[in-house]
Amino acid sequence: MTSRTVTPRALPWVVAGIVLVALSLRGPIIAPTPVITEIQSDLGLSAATAGLLTGLPVLLFALVTPLASKLIGRLGPEAAILICLTGVLAGTVIRSAGPAAVVLAGTVVIGAAIAVGNIVVPVIIRRDVSWRRIPTVTAAYTAALNVGSMITALGTAPLAAAVGWRWALAAWGALTVVALVFWLGVARRRAGTPTAPRTSPAEPPTTTGASGTTRGTGQVRRIGWWLTLAFCGQAFSYYSITAWLPTLLADTRGLSLAASGAGASLFQVAAIAGALGVPPLAARTPPWVPVAVVGALWITLPVGLLIAPEAYLGWSVIGGIAQGGGFTVIFSVVSRIVRSDAEAAATSARVQGSGYLAATVGPPLVGALNSVTGGWTVPLLVVLGATTVFLAGGLLAVRETRRRT
């Protein structure tokens, strides 16, 4: 790990570091949801205020992302990773102590810290991973995000039953401590080893892509904007479905909250298969095929719930595969088109900043449409529109990567 593109022997350590970070980038947001009623009762929170425990971090993603890009450019990726992990750990401790205002303050710290991690991980992947392995490492990162969510979703309630919700939320800081120790070691090794800058491991120094095209700043920017459109559709759909699928199933299928929650959990678990399935598909097909397949799966979720809601378990799995694959597709392209750490941070910030802003709009809009119409047809049509936006943006981005300039 002493050069810009690591050796094959060092690659597993790079992947391990990325996975350790990823385990702390979504779990802290999901952790309060299984014990939200206990938190409300203990702190005297309204339903709207309790919703901020999961809504605030996503809003912070959108607000802090531009600053995160500048931070990475000024201090470097390793320092940014350490700031991210320290912030997540501090926010986890703060959120687990004190009255409602302190809990919300800790939530803000967590959201701001994770925003830095969201941007810096694609920079690390671009810098340290050869272009042929970028989709695979991005898939491992995406899968680890979902594993972190799954672990905290399944483990928080039993922990809370044993030690109370405060200690249950604080306990997940142990994952962050492990990642922090690992990256402190990485930062020490990097600090003691001078490195020669490279244009990009994702593309040769001439920025010639696999098709023989020469990619300039303008083309990279255009690709970035198409990816931004795709990620807006991805994030809007993911957070809307995550927020409302249990309620939708309870309303339309007459399920108990526990049963609807279990059915909706397939949407999160199946994302691991989607993330890990994209790289082998991309290796054997033209670049547009993974985007088209993932987009078709995304579209199948709202269409399936509209025309055959009784098959909701299948639609949840299909949608989960789509959301895991969609994240991998988008950020694999980001890592492969950029030519420097600065460009990686700027492009990732633009894509994620806009996408997470769309994510903050999605759940309230879908919920409002359900309240106004008294049903789920219109909300699902809106989600269908968002998934179509993902497909269109992704295909246009891939087409742009194949153009000559």
Q: Quote the pLDDT of residue 301.
A: 97
Ramachandran region of residue 6, left (φ > 0), alpha (ψ -120 to 50) or beta? Answer: beta
Q: How far is CA 125 from the centre of its chain?
A: 15
In a shared domain, residues 217 and 194: no
Distance CA 57, CA 4 (A): 32
Does residue 193 sit in the same domain as residue 213? no
Please spell the DSSP secondary structure of 298-338, one letter per residue: HHHHHHHHHH-GGGHHHHHHHHHHHHHHHHHHHHHHHHHH-
Query: From the centroid of its chain, how far is CA 397?
Result: 19
Do 370 and 225 lie in a common domain? yes
- pLDDT value, residue 204: 44
Instruction: Say what the pLDDT of residue 322 is.
Output: 96
Domain boundary among 140, 170, 198: 198
Mean pLDDT of successive 10-residue stretches along the chain, which has 405 residues = 54 89 91 84 83 85 87 90 96 94 95 93 87 85 88 86 93 96 88 52 43 62 92 93 84 76 81 90 89 96 95 94 92 79 82 90 88 92 97 93 65
Tell me how many degrees the CA angle 97-101-103 measures, rounded to the nearest 5: 40
Q: Say if residue 188 is in the same domain as residue 251.
A: no
- Residue pair 128/81 in contact (Cβ under 8 Å)? The answer is no
Q: How high is the pLDDT of residue 209? A: 44
Residue 101 CA to its chain's centroid (Å): 27
User: Into how many domains does the chain fold?
Assistant: 2
Pair (256, 395) in one structural domain: yes
Asked if residue 294 and residue 187 are part of one domain, the reply reads no
Domain that holds residue 335: 204-405
Task: Let me know whether 185 and 318 are in one domain.
Answer: no
Domain boundary among 157, 178, 198: 198
pLDDT of residue 395: 95
DSSP letters for 358-395: HHHHHHHHHHHHHHHHSSSHHHHHHHHHHHHHHHHHHH
Same domain, yes or no: 169 and 256: no
Are 402 and 370 members of one domain? yes
d(CA 71, CA 336): 22
This prediction has a pTM of 0.80
* DSSP3 helix / strand / coil % (the chain, rounded to 5): 80, 0, 15
Domain edge (last residue) among 168, 198, 228: 198
* Contact by Cβ (8 Å): 63, 188: no
- The tokens 């695979």 sit on which residue? 136
Question: What's residue 258's pLDDT?
Answer: 67
- Are both 314 and 392 inside the same structural domain? yes
CATH at 190: 1.20.1250.20
